[in-house]
A and B are shown apart, each in its own frame.
Chain A
Amino acid sequence: MAVTRAKDSSVNTGTKYISFLAGNPAFTLASFDSIATTVAAGGETSITLSAIPQTYVALQLRVLSKDSVNATGTDYVDLRFNADSGTNYAYHSLQGSGSAASASGSATQNTIRCYYGQTRGGATLANMFGASIIDIHDYASTTRNKTVRSFSGADTNGGGGIALNSGVWLNTAAVTSVTLLSGGSNTWAAGSRFELYGLVG
């Protein structure tokens, strides 16, 4: 039998809505997804984010890190893709040390480097971390090599530096995992954060 009338008296909660949302928030398609987060326990030589979905147009890593070495100063953060440790990478960097600007480039490397991406682990630098924003464009392509740009820096109130870095992985395979290594083959300090995001196309 068809419904021909509804009466307020037959409704337990008499809330009237003008909008079909009925008090619920509008659904918004996400454009920037958090894929995975790893927080170092301390002592790891590398952190790998794997099983990366192939459904995004680009990836972004946000890293907040320091190493475990009892020293002052800063160090770099290295990247590899798909566990490739061969000399299939190259990178360039524009750096500021706090007193001078400089530039460098390196070919035929076994990582992509982000200079000034982390602080060292000395006691005077306790609770100070370096930061990096790393963009990997067109990571799911199977016809093009992979280009990376990053912006990294660490300030220790008297030391530190800032760097703009670019890099390339000379491989047309889609990126399915990213490995981050602490500079100088050192280990990560506890609390270092490694976050992977995907940009929705």
Chain B
Amino acid sequence: MAYTYEPIATQTLGSSSATVTFGSIPSTYTHLRIVTTYSFGSVNRIGVRFNSDSGTNYSNTWLTGSGSAAESFRETSMSYIFSQWSGVPVTNPSLTVFDIFNYGGSTNKTVLVSTSGDQNGSGRVERGVGLWRSTSAITSLTVNGVSQNFTSGSSFTLFGIKAA
């Protein structure tokens, strides 16, 4: 029996890794949520892909605060749904939440992204929206460190949310 909001799977890295994949996602929920706390060796971007689609079928719009300025950015025809700035040294992991709406539906997939990271002198708060231009149901997803590995200890939990 699926509860309204429940964890589907959790992965905590015992060693560094470039990707974390959740496969065979049950179709019994309405929305998915990925909650991650992670670090990279240096400034990098975290991204997510669906159903192994590595094509330029993703796009992103962000609102960011850097500690000195508020800015907004957009990227089109990308190969991930991104957070624009993400985790740094091991002692101060970043937090990113991806909210994936109606993942089993037959429309393109909208994702709300929240990222928070503070390094006691630098950091970023970001809110973003992403689009995967595919009407396929999501059956797997891969979280990527775009150009660097996630460090050991980084954790990733996939939740399912089921509407009435």
Q: A residues engaging B (CB < 8 A)?
A: 25, 28, 30-37, 62, 64, 94-101, 116, 127-131, 133, 151-158, 160-164, 191, 193, 195, 197
| 13 additional A-B residue pairs with CB within 8 Å, beyond A127-B108, A153-B110, A191-B107 | A28-B3, A34-B163, A62-B161, A64-B110, A100-B71, A128-B108, A131-B110, A131-B111, A151-B114, A155-B129, A156-B59, A158-B74, A197-B161
Q: B residues engaging A (CB < 8 A)?
A: 1, 3-5, 30-31, 59-64, 70-74, 76-77, 99, 101-102, 105-108, 110-112, 114, 127-131, 133, 135, 161-164
Contact A31 B5 (CB under 8 A): yes
List, in ascending order, chain A residues with CB within 8 A of B73's CB. Answer: 96, 98-99
Min CB distance B27 to A, Å, is: 16
Partner of A64, one of B102, B130, B162, B164: B102
Closest A-B pairs by Cβ, 8 of them: A153-B129, A96-B63, A96-B72, A98-B74, A32-B5, A101-B70, A157-B59, A34-B164
Per DSSP, are chain B's interface residues mostly helix, strand or loop, or mixed? strand
Per DSSP, are chain A's interface residues mostly helix, strand or loop, or mixed? strand
Number of inter-chain CB pairs below 8 Å: 132
- Closest chain B residue, CB of each to CB of A25: B1
Contact A62 B107 (CB under 8 A): no
Contact A130 B110 (CB under 8 A): yes
Instruction: Name 26 interchain pairs, CB-CB below 8 A, sorted by A.
Output: A25-B1, A28-B3, A32-B161, A37-B164, A62-B161, A62-B163, A99-B72, A101-B71, A128-B107, A128-B110, A130-B129, A133-B99, A151-B112, A153-B61, A153-B112, A155-B74, A155-B129, A156-B59, A157-B59, A157-B77, A160-B129, A162-B127, A162-B128, A163-B63, A164-B127, A195-B164
